Amino acid sequence: MKNIQKNIGSLHVKGVRRIKNMITIYFDGLCKPHPGGVATYGYVVYQDGKAIKKGCRVIGEGEGMTVNVAEYSALKRALEWLNEQGINDDIVVKGDSMLVINQMKGLYRIKSKTSKFFVPIIQKLLERKKICFVWIPREENMEADMLSNVAYKRYMLKIALCKAVFVAHKAG
C-alpha cells in the first residue's frame, strides 16, 4: 500500500495542471439481487479525453457474488487491459464505490475476504505507476454504470431464451 500512497499526490485532477497522456478509468459494478445475485461490471478507459476501451462482463451468479466483487472486478479488468497494452501513462481512477476508492487510497481498513483478495492483485497491477483515486457521485459515472447494466441485461436475456427453448422443446 505504501507504494500507491506515495504516488497518489503526484497527479493534479481538478485542472491545476494538464498532464499529457493522462489515462482516466471509470468503473462500476452491480449485483442483482444483492448479495448472491448476478454480478456484472462495466468500465471505460480514456486517454486524453478520448475513450480507448470499453468493457463489460458477467462475473457470476449466486453465492459469493456481491456489488463489491463486481466493483473490484471492474477496476482489476481495466488495469489488466492497460498492462496488456503496455500503457504506462499517469492514471486517474474514478468510481462511485466509496469503499473501493477509499480502500485503494489506504483510508479504509481492508477487512473483508473480498477486499483481502482484490486489493493485493490491484496493487500489483499498479506497481511503478502514478495513480490517483477519486470518488465521484453516481451521476458522473453513468457510462460505466450503463455498461454494467448492459452485461446484466444480456445475461438475463440469455437466461430467458434458454428457458423458452427448454419449454418449447419439452412441449414439442
* pLDDT score at 11: 44
- pLDDT at 2 exceeding the cut of 80: no
* pLDDT score at 20: 62
Question: Which pTM does this prediction carry?
Answer: 0.85
Percentage of the chain modeled with pLDDT above 90: 78
Are the C-beta atoms of residues 45 and 78 closer than 8 Å to each other?
A: yes
CA 80 to chain centre: 11
pLDDT band at 21 (very low <50, low <70, confident <90, very high): confident
* pLDDT score at 169: 67
Tell me the residue type at 95.
G
- pLDDT at 73 exceeding the cut of 70: yes
- pLDDT at 105 exceeding the cut of 90: yes
Number of domains in the chain: 1
The CATH number that applies at residue 40 is 3.30.420.10
Stretch 89-111: mean pLDDT: 97
Stretch 110-125: mean pLDDT: 97
Stretch 119-131: mean pLDDT: 96
- C-alpha neighbours within 13 Å on the C-beta side of residue 133: 22
Domain, as residue range, for 69: 2-171
- pLDDT at 16 exceeding the cut of 50: no
| Cα→Cα distances 142→19, 20, 77, 136, Å | 24, 25, 18, 11
Grid cell for residue 71 = 466493483
